[in-house]
């Protein structure tokens, strides 16, 4: 039975990075809205906990004066100075970011922070003057009522809240109830990855510069096992593979993960004296490798609900935040014009996908690289090549020079 009713100009479902970012920018624009989340915060989210430069760039759009150290120099965040790739034959290639000159402010393009902490960091920033934030409020049913949405949500005490709104933003992650309600989409295994995460303490051989490590396991098709160092000597360890390959070879991801941890000659020795802090937890990654329609009459989808995870890196926090930033701009336009039909959002997908094109191309090329037995050979050969090292250095210095100032332009027309 409905015990409570509210009306709002805009409802965001989900307060992860995509939803929280949408709310932060709506508040900056002075737009009152409601944001609900099923969870009680702080809450965990299965993730690799790697934060790239996009995260900082979005935050800088919120506050141009914010510095990287204000955001990341906290005990819950760890700076990483690059990446280590370990090929199937065990060859280690380090891509270390060049040291900044003496006295220059420390800048890194990679950080790690448990989602428990990072998402809470965003939640604390929500501006309650404009954001009516309702945690522990789980959306269960969404119906179209003329040109409005009638949304039913269960509160932690079991009572039901009904929310009436003309504009809905789905930011509720991989199992999005908003996506289901507007017709959903079936999982396309080529564009979806199965993953596991397990926190560990005491993993040996971590690089002193906290490089994030990606291992391409021997004898397995394209998949990646990762070790991302965290503060306090902990590490986020995980494994992911495109679902199409899991299905094709009838793999059990948990068994593969366990085997790598206990038997793989390149990895097992590093875990022998380490302690797992939890059981492996599974979660899906909806990849952006296929373009989808993420808007319609009265709604926009953001983040994982819109399947926006970078298909090669598995990075979805930054892309989720960028999509939230873009969605806030389209929502502002809709509210200003009091027009909520699909026409007003028709350029949303263009704005989102044009930032992902490079990532999508790389993924498509990798997937074309079948049969997978070629991977071991190809990766062993390619990863240590000096030109890759140079490309990495150039990429990083390019990012460092421009990314801190670069504006995320949103073209609504």
Ligand X SMILES: Cc1cc2nc3c(=O)[nH]c(=O)nc-3n(C[C@H](O)[C@H](O)[C@H](O)COP(=O)(O)OP(=O)(O)OC[C@H]3O[C@@H](n4cnc5c(N)ncnc54)[C@H](O)[C@@H]3O)c2cc1C
Write out the residues near ligand X by the rule CB under 6 A: 13-19, 36-39, 45-50, 138-139, 171-173, 177, 195, 197, 238, 240, 283, 285, 303-305, 309, 314-318, 320
Provide, rounded to whole angstroms, the least separation between the CB of residue 343 and ligand X: 25
What H or E segment, with its residue span, contains residue 326? helix 317-337
Select 257 or 271, whichever has its Cβ closest to ligand X. Answer: 257
Q: Is 219 left (phi over 0), alpha (psi -120 to 50) or beta?
A: left
**Residue 283: helix, strand or coil by DSSP?**
strand
DSSP 220: S
Minimum CB separation of residue 402 from ligand X in Å reads 21
DSSP string, 104-119: SPP--SEEE--HHHHH
Q: From the CB of 374, what's the least distance to ligand X, in Å? A: 26
Q: Give the CA angle between residues 303, 308, 311 to the nearest 5°.
A: 145
Bridge partners, residue 162, by sequence: 5, 152
Token pair for residue 99? 């040291």
Of 252 and 336, nearer to ligand X (C-beta) is 252
Using the minimum distance from each CB to ligand X, give the nearer residue, 119 or 376. Answer: 119
Say if CB 34 and CB 134 are below 8 A apart.
yes
- 101 vs 183 by CB, closer to ligand X: 183
Instruction: Report in angstroms how near the CB of residue 292 gets to ligand X at its nearest.
Output: 14
Q: Which is nearer to ligand X, 41 or 404 (CB)?
A: 41
Alpha carbon distance 15, 120 (integer Å): 10
Minimum gap (Å) between residue 356 Cβ and ligand X: 13
CB of 101: closest distance to ligand X in angstroms?
A: 29
Bridge partner residues of 96 (DSSP): 82
Least Å from the CB of residue 314 to ligand X: 5
The answer to whether 108 touches 399, Cβ cutoff 8 Å, is no
Spatial distance between the Cα atoms of 411 and 223, rounded to a whole number of angstroms? 36
The residues, ordered by sequence, that sit 6+ positions from 318 with a Cβ below 8 Å of its Cβ are 51, 52, 53, 54, 55, 58
Token digits of residue 280: 């492996």
Residue with smaller CB distance to ligand X, 162 or 384: 162
Looking at beta carbons only, is 236 or 376 nearer to ligand X? 236
Q: Which CB, 52 or 376, lies closer to ligand X?
A: 52
The answer to whether 26 touches 328, Cβ cutoff 8 Å, is: yes
Closest distance between ligand X and the C-beta of residue 333, in Å? Answer: 22
Maximal CA-CA distance, the chain: 66
């Amino acid at each position: 039975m409905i015990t409570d009713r509210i009306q709002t100009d805009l409802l965001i479902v989900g307060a992860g990075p995509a939803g929280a970012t949408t709310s932060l920018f709506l508040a900056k624009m002075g737009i009152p809205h409601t944001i609900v989340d099923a969870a009680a915060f702080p809450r965990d989210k299965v993730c690799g906990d790697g934060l790239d430069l996009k995260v900082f760039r979005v935050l800088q759009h919120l506050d141009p004066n914010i510095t990287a150290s204000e955001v990341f120099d906290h005990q819950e965040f760890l700076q990483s100075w690059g990446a280590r790739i370990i090929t199937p034959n065990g060859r280690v290639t380090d891509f270390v970011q060049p040291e900044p000159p003496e006295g220059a402010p420390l800048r890194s393009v990679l950080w790690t922070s448990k989602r428990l902490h990072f998402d809470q960091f965003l939640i604390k920033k929500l501006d309650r003057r404009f954001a009516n934030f309702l945690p522990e409020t789980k959306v269960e049913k969404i119906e179209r009522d003329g040109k409005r949405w009638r949304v039913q949500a269960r509160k932690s005490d079991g009572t039901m809240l009904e929310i009436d709104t003309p504009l809905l933003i789905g930011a509720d992650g991989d199992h999005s109830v908003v996506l289901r309600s507007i017709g959903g989409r079936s999982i396309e295994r080529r564009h979806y990855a199965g993953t596991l995460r397990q926190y560990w303490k005491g993993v040996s051989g971590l690089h002193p510069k906290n490089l994030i490590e990606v291992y391409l396991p021997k004898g397995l098709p394209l998949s990646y096992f990762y070790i991302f160092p965290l503060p306090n000597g902990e590490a986020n360890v995980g494994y992911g593979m495109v679902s199409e390959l899991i299905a094709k070879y009838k793999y059990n991801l948990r068994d593969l993960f366990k085997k790598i941890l206990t038997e793989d000659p390149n990895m097992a020795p590093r875990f022998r004296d380490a302690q797992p802090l939890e059981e492996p937890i599974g979660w899906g990654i909806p990849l952006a490798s296929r373009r989808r329609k993420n808007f319609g009459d009265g709604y926009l989808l953001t983040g994982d609900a819109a399947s926006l995870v970078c298909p090669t890196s598995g990075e979805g926090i930054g892309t989720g935040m960028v999509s939230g930033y873009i969605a806030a701009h389209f929502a502002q336009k809709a509210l200003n014009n009091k027009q909520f039909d699909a026409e007003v959002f028709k350029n949303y997908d263009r704005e989102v996908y044009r930032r992902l094109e490079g990532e999508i191309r790389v993924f498509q090329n990798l997937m074309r690289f079948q049969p997978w037995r070629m991977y071991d050979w190809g990766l062993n050969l390619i990863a240590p090549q000096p030109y890759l090292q140079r490309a990495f250095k150039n990429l990083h210095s390019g990012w460092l020079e421009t990314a801190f100032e670069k504006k995320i332009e949103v073209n609504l027309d």
